[in-house]
Amino acid sequence: MPHWYGVDLDATGAFISAPLPPEEQVYLKAILGFDLPKGKCLRLKKTIYGLVQAPLSYFKLCREVYGKVGLRQLDCDECVFVRCAQNIKGQPPLTTEHIIESGAFMPMDTVPELQRVYKTCVYPVACIIVVMYVDNNGVRHNCWELLAEFEADVAKDGRIDLHREGDVSSFLSVRYINNTQTGEITADQEAYIDTLLAKYKMTNCNPIKVPLKPSVNLHEIAARLPLTPHPEIVSLYAQLIGEIMFIGINTHPLIAQPVNALARFMTIANSELYVLAKSVLRYLKGVKSRKIVWCAARVKFPFVPCEIYAFSDASWADIVPQRKRFCNNAVFSWKSSLSSVLAMSSAEAELIALCACAADVAYCRKLANELGFLQLRPTIIHEDNVGAKQLAESGNFKGRSKHFELRWRFLHHYINRGIVSIKAIKRDLQLPDVGTAPRGFPQLQSMGAIIHGET
């Protein structure tokens, strides 16, 4: 959305800021050169780096301080804090109920400058959202005065030392570029991919069009694995998989399935699997500048800006549920994983994926509603299996499907309660299909453009 800004606030000495709970007593020996009387030791008053209690104690301190300065902790995500304020002169203060009931940022008109409480905020509601990740605080806001108030109040409290590190153009190894005029946000990890290419001496390698060829049979490779794997290869392989998995989780959904499949051999890998893992990196070289693009102004019918919609798919036999959640023209959440439950039919496999998707959708809806982006309609989940769709809608778990009922009945309740609705879709339009098995270049190219918000 236009006129929203990003700021990265870093906490200096975060894990030495929080006091130890009175019921926890930690003692230390004196360091060399700092002599103590015989029989004496040091008692720790605050947490230190390396102490197991430090992260939780710091989080509790942040929760206390942020609540004291006027931020509200979300119920659905305890690491997200928000404050909304009335920006129209003469109007009563905003309440949480009013924000949720009005949809807050959904039908948002601009306010003439003379009527604003905060001059830099063009909207009726001034808002600041703080997302905690260890000692980093990613901030999204539409009002510079509200941000300054937050920083000043935290500084006045004195227990947490926050300082601005700039905008969020580089946050946790992801580059976010924010166009404040159009509201467009892009995300990529080009610099991180270049770092990996240099690390593995692949800077000048030839890129390939697919991360994993459809002809690759991992089951055959698994059958040839040695009983005693080489420890050096296993170590290198596990490190590389972890690094490319970080990319697949953040900015490149199209490598989610290959990375998930290769990650199953983390402790028994051989040189053949290591080469396949490097082929994913070769693919990433060719698409390293590709971005995920979110923009409410580019949302096309039948979708609505700020409204969540989802896709769910599964590949039976190997059972790889794949789900993607979209908002503002591009994917914002995705996952490809091996099912922990054995399915007896393709309909059951699709139902497993649908239920996993519905559970994620329920969380995303709660998060959006608490932030003021009210989801007025049931979230549409696109599904290409008619049998799974009918089972979920009817709740008729009998005969060969009666064993579904105990575990998957909640999906039927979600449909009846208006949380989700299932829409049939043709398989060639089913976007998560690229996340259930290795696919060819034409399918990756066409569906990848939609997934990344390029069309």
**What is the arithmetic mean of pLDDT over 55-70?**
94
Task: Report the percentage of the chain scoring pLDDT > 90.
Answer: 52
Residue 72 main-chain phi, psi, to 5 deg:
-110, 130
pLDDT in tens, 202-216: 999 999 999 999 888
pLDDT in tens, 300-327: 888 888 889 999 988 876 544 556 666 6
**What is the arithmetic mean of pLDDT over 407-415?**
85
Q: Which of 75-84, 106-115, 232-241, 264-273 has the lowest mean pLDDT?
A: 106-115
> Going by C-beta distance under 8 Å and a sequence separation of 6 or more, which residues neighbour residue 334?
253, 256, 322, 323, 324, 325, 432, 435
pLDDT over 70 at 104, yes or no: no
Q: What is the pLDDT of residue 6?
A: 93
Residue showing tokens 């309609």: 377
Greater confidence (155 vs 2) lies with 155
**What is the arithmetic mean of pLDDT over 66-91?**
92
Q: What is the pLDDT of residue 172?
A: 87
Q: Which of 36-40, 302-306, 350-354 has the lowest mean pLDDT?
A: 302-306
In whole angstroms, give the CA distance from residue 98 to residue 198.
53
Greater confidence (363 vs 394) lies with 363
Alpha helices in 264-418 (DSSP H): 271-286, 346-370, 386-394, 405-416
Q: What is the pLDDT of residue 319?
A: 43
pLDDT averaged over every residue in the chain: 88
Q: What is the pLDDT of residue 400?
A: 60
Q: Which domains does the chain have, with CATH numbers?
A: 5-172 (no CATH), 190-286 (no CATH), 298-451 (3.30.420.10)
Q: Are 332 and 311 in contact (CB under 8 A)?
A: no
pLDDT over 80 at 407, yes or no: no
**What is the arithmetic mean of pLDDT over 146-160?**
95
**What is the arithmetic mean of pLDDT over 406-413?**
80
**What is the arithmetic mean of pLDDT over 133-144?**
92
Q: What is the pLDDT of residue 234?
A: 94
Q: What is the pLDDT of residue 96?
A: 62
Confidence of residue 178 (pLDDT cuts 50, 70, 90): very high
Q: What is the pLDDT of residue 403?
A: 61
pLDDT in tens, 233-261: 999 999 999 999 999 999 999 999 999 99
In whole angstroms, give the CA distance from residue 455 to residue 444.
14
Neighbours of 75 (CB within 10 A): 10
**What is the arithmetic mean of pLDDT over 376-386?**
92
**What is the arithmetic mean of pLDDT over 424-442?**
88
Confidence of residue 268 (pLDDT cuts 50, 70, 90): very high
pLDDT over 70 at 100, yes or no: no
In whole angstroms, give the CA distance from residue 436 to residue 447.
13
pLDDT over 80 at 341, yes or no: no
